[in-house]
Structure 1
Amino acid sequence: MAAALLSVSVSAHAQDDLLKTLETQVTDSARAEYVQATFKGTRIINGQSVETPGAGTMVFLISHRFGMLNSGAYNFFGLDQATIRLGLEYGINDRLTVGVGRSSLEKTYDGFLKYRALRQSTGARAMPVSVTLFASSALTSLKFPDQERPDGSRLTYTYQALIARKFSPSLSVQLMPTLVHRNFVDTRAEQNDVYALGIAGRQKLTKRVALTAEYYYLLPGATADRFRNSLAVGFDIETGGHVFQLHFTNSQGMIEKFFVPQTTGRWLDGDIYFGFNISRVFTLKSKND
């Protein structure tokens, strides 16, 4: 009798263990596994990536752009001429980021918000892409000799949906539908609203080096007739807490206000700017705080 009871008890315990194992497997299969590091920085080259710093993390970004390579030996092939942007980005939480910056080009101040709406994931409810929404404003503080402009006419706004997919550990691709609204344009023929479609990619070459490329196509209109599409290629180099980005582009400006609707350089004519981005990450608030 005792042996029979012991056998039933052991059998029931084994069944409980089996049920717990099955429940764990079902829970694990249903749990979303988010794809990490679609891009290594918050910027691809000129434009934004889907990445955000994360809660309590601040990014200090230095963007530097020399003059045109075809400016000749007298200007040391562009090295004598340079523009710079200093920026700070802070992760309010894992989804929302706020950022500010100041560019020497037209003495421009900019601020932006990024919101990570969707994250690529695997599992029972897999999400095939990551989607980050981006909105920025830029204020030109340059003094105009011909007339003094009110502050409202100095503002430019940019709105983007950043849609990216990491196809493999080495390859990531991103699309960027873009609207740039300018409160002031020089002539009536120019567009206050400029639409563009960007595409960018990242291909890892080694564990710490990746090839990047970025292209913005201006939709047909007066702006597309007068200006060029922005094209940039470069390399990402990871060095500890830094991401060092070297690049070549036909755009002088380093924020959307400039490189989307105001690019003038022609690659085939040698109107190419060499530049770099350096980002440093600081953890101001740990997740355990």
Structure 2
Amino acid sequence: MKKFVLTIFFIATHIAMFSQDDLLDILDDEAPKSKTDGVVTSTFKGTRILNGHSVENRKDKELEFIISHRFGRLNTGFKDLFGLDESNVRFSLEYGLNDNLTIGIGRSSFEKTYDSFLKYSLFKQRRGEKSFPFAISLFGSIAAKTQEESFPIKERSFAENLSYVGQVLIARKVSKSFSYQLTPTYIHRNTVTNVADPNGIFALGFGSRVKLSNRVSLNGEYYHAFNESVSINAQNSLAFGVDIETGGHVFQLIFSNARTMIEKGFIAETTGDFFGGDIHFGFNISRTF
């Protein structure tokens, strides 16, 4: 009996020497291999880090409905109920044409803008024999402003109200608790309000996610524009927020100096100073079907 107890103690001690990741690696090695083995999943909780896109795609034939709100500035005080009297809204639908390709359309109340996009997963982060350190996706969108100018010098054509965005989304899930993403970005606006403003803007985005539990994470996002619109004293977009997963919903609470929800707006045309108190509270809520 004593020998049996010592044997059990010996086995338990050696099992405890393995970390959870070591045990998972052993199980992975012994499990049957498939074409998806080694693929790192859930780099981010949803298709948005906060304002901008993440590398996550909708799965094949999944449909996602997203409602986004951004309220006015908190520093307007009690008179405007700390910004809650103002609201910009965006509704969108995103559909997985397959596991690697997502198409989306949306409509924003700000400037009555319609937008559409395609996002394609080019490479997936992998571990194991065919390891690859990053997940890389390509993103392209087009947006059309339909709001009429209050005092137009001349009437704009439809083409003059168009803008385009191209991005490379480069993300890495470092551990179960931490992920980050770099997002080189180019924005082109067919028309600008001032000749001193650039039509094309280059920017670099950085986003991160710190997982607090299975359902909650803290996210941060920053976009640095290398050339900015001088006529509006454009600022770099900064945002912090919380992701909360509740069943089929992902609910994001956001604090940002940006009041718009498409790339052309929050990257190129943000005017608020985050550290000066120009902070907009908002949220994204999504439902997947």
Please say whether Structure 1 and Structure 2 have the same fold, judged by a TM-score greater than 0.5. Answer: yes
The amino acid of 2:160's aligned partner reads S
* Corresponding residue number in structure 2 for 1:278: 285
3-state SS in 2 of match to 1:33: coil
Q: CA deviation at 1:237?
A: 0.4
Alignment of 1:28-177 (within 5 A): 28=33, 32-147=37-152, 148-177=155-184
3-state SS in 2 of match to 1:236: strand
* Corresponding residue number in structure 2 for 1:242: 249
Contact 1:223-1:261 within 8 A present in 2 as well: no
Q: CA deviation at 1:31?
A: 7.4
Q: 1:26 to 1:140 in 2, by over 3 A?
A: closer
> Does 1:198 find its partner at 2:205?
yes
Extract unaligned runs of 5+ from structure 2: 1-28
- TM-score, normalised on structure 2? 0.86
Q: CA deviation at 1:144?
A: 1.4
Q: Distance in 2 between matches of 1:104 and 1:31?
A: 40
The amino acid of 2:72's aligned partner reads G
3-state SS in 1 of match to 2:82: helix
3-state SS in 1 of match to 2:220: strand
Q: 1:25 to 1:190 in 2, by over 3 A?
A: same
Q: Distance in 1 between matches of 2:50 and 2:264?
A: 15
3-state SS in 1 of match to 2:98: coil
Q: CA deviation at 1:186?
A: 1.3
Q: CA deviation at 1:268?
A: 2.2
* Corresponding residue number in structure 1 for 2:16: none
Q: 1:165 to 1:269 in 2, by over 3 A?
A: same
3-state SS in 2 of match to 1:268: helix
Contact 2:144-2:163 within 8 A present in 1 as well: yes
1:178 to 168, 185, 200: 185
Q: CA deviation at 1:74?
A: 1.2
Q: CA deviation at 1:54?
A: 0.8
Q: Distance in 1 between matches of 2:249 and 2:78?
A: 32
Q: Distance in 1 between matches of 2:103 and 2:34?
A: 34
* Corresponding residue number in structure 2 for 1:10: none
Contact 1:50-1:130 within 8 A present in 2 as well: yes
The amino acid of 1:94's aligned partner reads D
Q: Distance in 2 between matches of 1:271 and 1:223?
A: 18
Q: CA deviation at 1:146?
A: 2.5
* Corresponding residue number in structure 2 for 1:15: none
* Corresponding residue number in structure 2 for 1:16: none
Q: 1:29 to 1:151 in 2, by over 3 A?
A: closer
3-state SS in 2 of match to 1:38: coil
Q: 1:241 to 1:25 in 2, by over 3 A?
A: closer
Contact 1:194-1:223 within 8 A present in 2 as well: no
* CA distances 1:15-35 after superposition (whole Å, capped 9, x unpaired): xxxxxxxxx979849974111
Q: Distance in 2 between matches of 1:82 and 1:236?
A: 21
Q: CA deviation at 1:72?
A: 1.6
Q: Distance in 1 between matches of 2:117 and 2:195?
A: 28
Deviates more, 1:73-82 or 1:28-37: 28-37
> Does 1:227 find its partner at 2:234?
yes
Q: Distance in 2 between matches of 1:225 and 1:151?
A: 23
* Corresponding residue number in structure 1 for 2:15: none
The amino acid of 1:119's aligned partner reads K
3-state SS in 2 of match to 1:150: coil
Q: 1:157 to 1:220 in 2, by over 3 A?
A: closer
3-state SS in 1 of match to 2:159: helix
Q: CA deviation at 1:257?
A: 1.1
* CA distances 1:262-281 after superposition (whole Å, capped 9, x unpaired): 01001222100000000100
3-state SS in 2 of match to 1:77: coil
| Paired residue total | 259
Q: Which has the larger radius of gyration?
A: 1
